[in-house]
Amino acid sequence: MADKHHSLVRQTYLPYGKQWIDDDDIQAVIDVLKSDYLTTGPAVERFEKAFSQYVDAKYAVAFSNGTAALHGACFVAGIEPGDEVITTPMTFVASANCVLYQGGKPVFADINQRTYNIDVEKVKQLITPKTRAVIPVDFTGQPCDLDELLSIAKQHNLVVIEDAAHALGATYKDRKVGSISDMTMFSLHPVKHMTTGEGGIITTNNKDYYEKLVQFRSHGITRERSKLLHDHGPWYYEMQHLGFNYRMTDIQAALGLSQLKKVEQFIKIRKKYVSIYNEAFRGWREFVSPFQALDRQSSWHLYVIRLNLEALTGSRKEVFEALQHENIGVNVHYIPVYYQPYYQELGYQKGLCPNAEEVYEAIITLPLFPAMSERDVQDVITAVKKIISLYSR
């Protein structure tokens, strides 16, 4: 037993992603807890302002989580029952579920085989008179072909809601993600670039979208005198559409403000670890490292390798389990959304997006987060080389 343990690359489990929380973050939360407002206070607005400045957008609206934020974006984009919204299958279910919340129909466009991002040509082919919006996802932090998508969207009068849950701090042709699409969503879940525990935020340059998002986030209620249809007096407020309680608390926002100060540092560490991985994995024919386009800078939420199954004697599952056994917290991003039983029951069938299906069969996500050490990075490299050599044909 002792021997068997000794032969493992790692003795302790290394997750694929994890938050970085330091004393400044903890103090920021304590300060709010001692203040007058736990929610609907000044911290949320401060956070929104700082966040919008960071991504070069005019406005930001914070939500209780990224999924709620996507729901808000679909609402203000005017998605209604019967409307179609084109998105990618290579994403978390939330990118498509937000369309279903509005009674719309997600239409899945296949991915590009190199970037794993949505294929613009496929998007074009799927546009119908019912199409209202496109939800491209900046997979692993690498921005989609935004210029092409925005130009198609303009021609067909579509709203572009960019799911940038992976892409905080990324740039596209020297422009910040968050300042480009009609609306951009960022998730503030602990595995993402920075966290508020749970949290999400939409950035936009459109004042009308901004005001509607604020109202939607809080029951569809407004207190702004200029917007009221009636006015009974100073106590009066009006619910003008069916909204939700999707508010972010001041506790979360204070944590967010504190985290935002460090986000550039977080991304720098991620980039450094990616270059260490790239260097170590260069030249292996059993798997390929992520593709990097030259005109955009990923902010590296995930490091996804793709196995060359023909060069291996083992399956993806065997390689995955062997890495898990080495205490490397591997993962798979993503199971094509429409493989989910709920989507299958809605009538989506396997075979819909062959590229996404083929990529899904061969990908493994390796650990990548700023709170891991260089030693951890080396452990991952050692384990990958060991297991891949074991299964090399």
Ligand X SMILES: *Cc1c(COP(=O)(O)O)cnc(C)c1O
CA pair distance 241, 247, nearest whole angstrom = 16
Neighbours of 333 (CB within 10 A): 19
Answer yes or no whether residue 99 interacts with ligand X by CB under 6 A: no
Neighbours of 15 (CB within 10 A): 14
Judge whether 215 and 228 are in contact, CB under 8 Å. no
Judge whether 356 and 333 are in contact, CB under 8 Å. no
Q: Which stretch binds ligand X (CB under 6 A): 24-32, 87-95, 148-156, 365-373?
A: 87-95
Going by the DSSP 8-state scheme, the letter that residue 40 receives in this structure is S
- 């569809």: which residue's tokens? 220
CA pair distance 169, 176, nearest whole angstrom = 7
Work out how close the CB of 289 gets to ligand X at its nearest, in angstroms, rounded to a whole number: 21
Closest CA to 137 of 177, 190, 84: 177
Answer yes or no whether residue 165 interacts with ligand X by CB under 6 A: yes
Choice between 260 and 383, CB closer to ligand X = 260
DSSP three-state, residue 293: coil
Choice between 222 and 249, CB closer to ligand X = 249
Residues 327-346, interacting with ligand X (CB under 6 A): none
Answer yes or no whether residue 91 interacts with ligand X by CB under 6 A: yes
Q: Which stretch binds ligand X (CB under 6 A): 17-25, 60-68, 122-130, 288-296?
A: 60-68
Binds ligand X (CB under 6 A): choice among 132, 166, 212, 270: 166
Binds ligand X (CB under 6 A): choice among 95, 184, 215, 252: 95
Residues 10-49, interacting with ligand X (CB under 6 A): none
Closest CA to 43 of 256, 315, 319, 221: 256
Judge whether 14 and 372 are in contact, CB under 8 Å. yes
Token pair, residue 202, equals 């939409």
Answer yes or no whether residue 189 interacts with ligand X by CB under 6 A: yes
Q: Which stretch binds ligand X (CB under 6 A): 4-12, 89-97, 122-130, 291-299?
A: 89-97
Answer yes or no whether residue 360 interacts with ligand X by CB under 6 A: no
Choice between 9 and 135, CB closer to ligand X = 135
Binds ligand X (CB under 6 A): choice among 25, 52, 61, 65: 65
Q: Which stretch binds ligand X (CB under 6 A): 63-71, 311-319, 321-329, 359-367?
A: 63-71
Choice between 135 and 388, CB closer to ligand X = 135
Q: Kindly determine how many residues on this chain lie close enough to bind ligand X according to the rule CB under 6 A.
A: 14
Closest CA to 95 of 109, 81, 82: 109
DSSP string computed for 370-392: TTS-HHHHHHHHHHHHHHHHHHB
The residue ranges that bind ligand X (CB under 6 A) are: 65-67, 91-92, 94-95, 137, 163, 165-166, 187, 189, 200
